[in-house]
Structure 1
Amino acid sequence: MKTYRIIPFIILIAITLLTACEKDADNVKPFKVDSKLVVHAFISPQDTVLKVHLQKSQPALGRRLSEEQLQVPNANVTISDGSSAVTLTYDPDHNAYFSKLREWAIVAGKTYTLKVTAPGGYAATASCSVPEATGIAITDVSTSTTTETDYYGGEMKRYKVAYKWTDAPGVNNYYRTLAAKVFWHKNYYGDRQRVAEPAHLDRGKPGLYKDDKAQGGVLTSDDFYYYQGAQSPDIEKQYQLHLLLVVSDKNYYLYQDAQYKQSQSNGNPFAEPVVMYSNIEGGLGVFAGYNQVEALIDME
């Protein structure tokens, strides 16, 4: 009886069919990801200068751009309040655009528009409103002290600080709490200098708050911590606690919140990806407004 080897024959047919299915695609559009303008600017009535950070984004595909190629030194950057405008000037030392606020100041309650154009067809715009701070005040500060031993066996005091503030009714407010220890010391040349050491929130919290559940009421910050070790002879014993309450628009709040969540998920393979907030049309980044309420507490 004859035996036929059919396996090679089947493989030959399969190869022939696969070869026959090959066809060059001539209607596929090339996939290209261009750079966008990345804009960061925060404006406040307490500012003495306007500052806008501007650069190009790094393309996700294709050739990686150098730091110099990402810079945008020849853009036209303006900020307008609807009736007048100011043009910012590029500073190569800081890689940012600046304008001193002398005659053209930021005013609470106004809406501002940022416009950026650059060679190559780049254009971006955004608007924000600077909130009022009327009716908002820091009302109460609580502090407590514990004594600890530092790494070298010396005595160190650990301060815990929290503060309360009143919320202005009838408007949706967004807040951020900050604090710093301020003291004076003499530098190498014997000149008296002011130093501000930031106090830190527990677990790196961003200190962001909304008044949606406390309209017109009283809000309380999370606890801040800072340390006081042995005093250097060049440091004055008297110092101050600087409390800063940022009264912000929604853009500032959402951007800072997204930035914090992104930092918390960094390096965690099981964390959900966080999309950075942006209100820049035609680009990426944020243009936001805020106001400030401050308090200085003398400490020993």
Structure 2
Amino acid sequence: MKKAVIFLSFATLVFSGCETIVAVDTPPHTPRLALTYTLSNQAPSSEYQNFFEGRELFVSVSQGALEVKQPTGRGDASVELVNEAGQTVEQFRSKARQGYNYTTGRPDSIYGYYVPARGFVGEPGQTYTLRASVPGVEAVEAKLTLPARAVIETGGYAIRQSNQLPSDAYPGRLTCSILDNAATTDYYLAYARVLDRNGQYWGYVQLDYNSNNNPEINLTRPQFSVSQSNYSQYPFSDAGGNGQRLNLSTDVYLRYGGRYDPASTYSKPGFIEIIVSSITPEAYRFYQSLQRYYDTDGNPFAEPAPLFSNVRPGYGLFGGSTDVTYRIAL
């Protein structure tokens, strides 16, 4: 035993004194334009843009794998949307945001967002091309056809009791049934929001993580997504159920999202609005790959999780979404 201890001590000293420096060549990198944008059949009003923040146009430029600087957006991009006839139907302007040094011209992480200047509304069945360029980088483009509208058969909200939530959280079971078209392969995202009794935005629907009735997140099962967060996009398809009803059902509660004034009482919720989005195959693949990428959580031993891209010769997503709504009175 004593000999073994002496040997291990000697081995530790030998190997601790060994140090090998390996020179690693920096992989070649050509900066490419990178962007994300989702075209919809809804008018891009301020209410729409606030609810669907993840759909707005963001433009940046790729950087090498070993670069340590914080990636930033580009505020000098030229972007246009072109229809099948070759006509420019939409252009974009840089989005000003107060409080982020926008007026000083100093770029930061918020720099690079754009808003549509013409208020164009996409039409299902029509094909559109997005073209973008910035100085010093090769221009890119991507093409899509807006999918047909989904058919929401039923929707409901059943109030339930919860010992873990206050009464003014309005806990309940939210359900939705989609009639799927048997003739096509379809891809969906589903959202929900809360309106007051006048039909104005009241707040948002929050998944009840304390409920034992909610299954684990599974990208093969229909479930509600969060419109403001790219991390919480859960696309689903009719694979395995083509032509059948696609059913969503989950325990949730309602959260007030307006400005609270202690001097007055805020309005009561009046409606839940379910939004079912028929999305393009490219958007479906992008959000699936994005979820897998987030799930690696920076683990160097995880399986590679490259992001899908349909922007050529750059990176990113030009997605399409055709939205339909179903209103439930509370």
Q: What residue is the counterpart of 2:278 in the other structure?
A: 247
Secondary structure at the residue paired with 1:141?
A: strand
Q: Is the 8 A contact 2:159 2:172 kept in 1?
A: yes
Counterparts of 1:174-185 in structure 2 under 5 Å? 174-183=187-196
Taking the aligned partners of 2:167 and 2:269, their CA distance within structure 1 comes to 21
Q: What residue is the counterpart of 1:147 in the other structure?
A: 161
1:122 aligns with 2:124: no
Secondary structure at the residue paired with 1:147?
A: coil
AA partner of residue 109 (structure 1): G
Q: What residue is the counterpart of 2:66 in the other structure?
A: 61
- CA deviations over 1:200-257 (Å, ceiling 9, x no partner): 274455442212333332111242512579xx97133342111110111101111111
1:169 aligns with 2:186: no
Structure 2 residues not aligned, in runs of 5+: 1-24, 46-54, 98-110, 209-213, 219-232, 257-261
Q: How many residues align?
A: 257
Secondary structure at the residue paired with 1:88?
A: strand
Q: Is the 8 A contact 2:155 2:177 kept in 1?
A: yes
Q: How far apart are residue 72 of structure 1 and its match?
A: 2.1
AA partner of residue 144 (structure 2): C
Secondary structure at the residue paired with 1:223?
A: strand
Shift of the 98–184 alpha-carbon distance from structure 1 to 2, 3 Å rule, reads same
The one of 50, 73, 76 equivalent to 1:74 is 76
Q: What residue is the counterpart of 1:199 in the other structure?
A: 206
Shift of the 271–121 alpha-carbon distance from structure 1 to 2, 3 Å rule, reads closer
Q: Is the 8 A contact 2:195 2:271 kept in 1?
A: yes
Q: What residue is the counterpart of 1:218 in the other structure?
A: 245
- CA deviations over 1:16-42 (Å, ceiling 9, x no partner): xxxxxxxxxxxxx97432332111010
Shift of the 96–117 alpha-carbon distance from structure 1 to 2, 3 Å rule, reads same
Identity over aligned pairs, percent: 18
Q: Is the 8 A contact 2:33 2:137 kept in 1?
A: no
Q: Is the 8 A contact 1:40 1:285 kept in 2?
A: yes
Secondary structure at the residue paired with 2:42?
A: coil
Taking the aligned partners of 2:169 and 2:132, their CA distance within structure 1 comes to 50
Taking the aligned partners of 1:241 and 1:30, their CA distance within structure 2 comes to 53
Q: Is the 8 A contact 1:242 1:294 kept in 2?
A: yes
AA partner of residue 280 (structure 1): V
AA partner of residue 91 (structure 1): K
Taking the aligned partners of 2:64 and 2:301, their CA distance within structure 1 comes to 26
AA partner of residue 139 (structure 1): E
Q: What residue is the counterpart of 2:224 in the other structure?
A: none
Taking the aligned partners of 1:284 and 1:148, their CA distance within structure 2 comes to 45
Counterparts of 1:258-273 in structure 2 under 5 Å? 258-266=289-297, 271-273=302-304
Q: Is the 8 A contact 2:194 2:201 kept in 1?
A: no
Secondary structure at the residue paired with 2:194?
A: strand
- CA deviations over 1:99-147 (Å, ceiling 9, x no partner): 2345x432111111111122113221111110111xx321122443332
Q: What residue is the counterpart of 2:327 in the other structure?
A: 296
Shift of the 53–258 alpha-carbon distance from structure 1 to 2, 3 Å rule, reads same
- CA deviations over 1:69-125 (Å, ceiling 9, x no partner): x332222211111211133223343632332345x4321111111111221132211
Structure having the higher strand fraction is 1
Taking the aligned partners of 1:209 and 1:215, their CA distance within structure 2 comes to 12
Shift of the 215–117 alpha-carbon distance from structure 1 to 2, 3 Å rule, reads same
Q: Is the 8 A contact 1:200 1:224 kept in 2?
A: yes
Q: Is the 8 A contact 1:32 1:61 kept in 2?
A: no
Counterparts of 1:222-237 in structure 2 under 5 Å? 222-227=249-254, 234-237=265-268
1:91 aligns with 2:91: no
Q: Is the 8 A contact 2:179 2:245 kept in 1?
A: yes
TM-score, normalisation: structure 1: 0.73
Q: What residue is the counterpart of 1:109 in the other structure?
A: 125
Q: What residue is the counterpart of 1:138 in the other structure?
A: 152
Secondary structure at the residue paired with 1:148?
A: coil
Q: How far apart are residue 268 of structure 1 and its match?
A: 5.3
Q: Is the 8 A contact 1:180 1:199 kept in 2?
A: no
